């Protein structure tokens, strides 16, 4: 392999540090780049892109760990840079299209359902009146930020008057029916980590409440990445076009031994999962990423 790879991240990041070490261990130069500092430089650089640390050259591959917070315009520009890199033949892991499919939870739900994967019903509307009508019809709903992550901003709604005003949800109401636990008070779901079409690690998350994200205090328990949950997770990652993904599943209370795909995360954290997994997740990611980069490299003379 010739040329450095770009690792798109932002600030001090435990995950990026592990990825960087795993890539360097394989003899490949890795340069951390913030997408906040990237842009287009049409007519000013040979590539037409502004990539700090690369000048007129392209990276041999690009691993997207973080896109970063920003305005709609800023995020659009960063995704545009990723689209442009792919257009120029740079392997981008995950692609901008996969990130777009996952960041927008309503699109994820549509794609999962359209592919025939078991997933909760969902509604995404742009008016409080329409959202109140959904909540009124019951049962309890979970209101999720369309672009949210790590359990932030989730609300359980039982009555129409609990629906917030549009300013509190950026004008979009994404609603799923509340999925009750199999046993009262046992709040748990499953996270499966998929890399290159294979489930490499999994865990059960035991929540302190119905919000089971690790960042919200959930306890992690190792789970073998095999069987139904692994199969569903691999299929879900493929549906959204993700090279790697963290797939969240929950047991269906209405049908024994059936799982529902809740979300597919295209830039998943794995610190909690790593604490209960024997597999070095960063190493698995680096191996698959560099395999893709090698496969895309032009053949020598």
Any domain includes 285: no
Any domain includes 246: yes
Cα 266 → chain centroid: 2
Predicted pLDDT of residue 148: 66
* Sequence-separated (6 or more) residues with CB below 8 Å from residue 298: none
Q: Are residues 170 and 70 in the same domain?
A: no
Predicted pLDDT of residue 151: 58
- 79: tokens are 């995704």
CB 30 within 8 A of CB 59: no
* Sequence-separated (6 or more) residues with CB below 8 Å from residue 167: none
| Sequential pLDDT tens for the chain (301 residues) | 468 999 999 987 899 999 999 999 999 999 999 999 999 999 999 999 999 999 999 999 999 999 998 999 999 999 999 999 999 999 999 999 999 999 999 999 999 999 999 999 999 999 999 999 999 987 799 998 877 665 567 899 999 999 999 999 999 999 999 998 877 778 889 999 999 999 999 999 998 888 887 777 788 999 999 999 999 999 999 999 999 999 999 999 888 889 999 999 999 999 999 999 999 999 999 999 999 999 998 875 5
Q: Are residues 58 and 168 in the same domain?
A: no
Structurally, the chain folds into a number of domains equal to: 3
Any domain includes 156: yes
Domain containing 56 equals: 5-93
CA gap 136, 66 in Å, rounded: 38
Q: Are residues 113 and 209 in the same domain?
A: yes
CB 102 within 8 A of CB 112: no
* Sequence-separated (6 or more) residues with CB below 8 Å from residue 267: 64, 65, 66, 67, 94, 99, 102
In the DSSP assignment, the letter for residue 4 is P
Q: Are residues 191 and 274 in the same domain?
A: yes
Q: Are residues 80 and 108 in the same domain?
A: no
Q: Are residues 233 and 271 in the same domain?
A: yes
**Parallel, antiparallel, or unpaired: how do β-strands 30-33 and 5-8 relate?**
parallel
Residue 83 region by backbone torsions, left for phi larger than 0, else alpha for psi between -120 and 50, else beta: alpha
Predicted pLDDT of residue 150: 59
Backbone φ and ψ for 207, nearest 5 degrees, come out as -90, 155
Predicted pLDDT of residue 186: 82
């Amino acid at each position: 392999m010739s040329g450095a790879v770009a690792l798109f991240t932002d600030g001090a990041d435990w995950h990026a540090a592990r990825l960087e070490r795993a890539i360097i261990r394989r003899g490949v130069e890795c340069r951390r780049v913030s997408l906040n500092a990237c842009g287009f430089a049409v007519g000013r650089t040979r590539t037409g892109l502004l990539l700090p640390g690369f000048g007129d050259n392209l990276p041999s591959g690009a691993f997207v760990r973080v896109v970063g917070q920003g305005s709609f315009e800023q995020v659009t520009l960063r995704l545009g840079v990723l689209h442009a890199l792919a257009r120029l033949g740079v392997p981008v892991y995950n692609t901008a299209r996969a990130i777009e499919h996952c960041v927008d939870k309503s699109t994820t739900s549509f794609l999962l359902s359209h592919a025939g994967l078991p997933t909760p019903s969902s509604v995404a509307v742009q008016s409080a009146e329409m959202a109140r009508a959904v909540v009124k019809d019951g049962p309890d709903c979970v209101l999720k930020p369309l672009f949210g992550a790590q359990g932030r901003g989730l609300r359980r709604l039982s009555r129409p008057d609990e629906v917030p005003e549009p300013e509190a949800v950026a004008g979009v109401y994404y609603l799923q029916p509340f999925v009750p636990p199999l046993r009262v008070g046992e709040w748990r779901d499953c996270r499966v980590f998929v890399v290159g079409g294979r489930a490499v690690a999994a865990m059960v998350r035991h929540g302190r409440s119905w919000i089971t994200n690790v960042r919200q205090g959930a306890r992690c328990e190792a789970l073998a990445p095999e069987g139904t949950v692994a199969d569903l997770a691999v299929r879900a990652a493929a549906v959204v076009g993700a090279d790697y993904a963290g797939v969240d599943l929950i047991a269906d209370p209405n049908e024994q031994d059936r799982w529902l795909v809740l979300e597919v995360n295209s830039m998943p954290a794995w610190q909690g999962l790593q604490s209960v997994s024997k597999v070095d997740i960063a190493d698995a990611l680096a191996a698959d990423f560099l395999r893709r980069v090698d496969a895309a490299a032009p053949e020598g003379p």
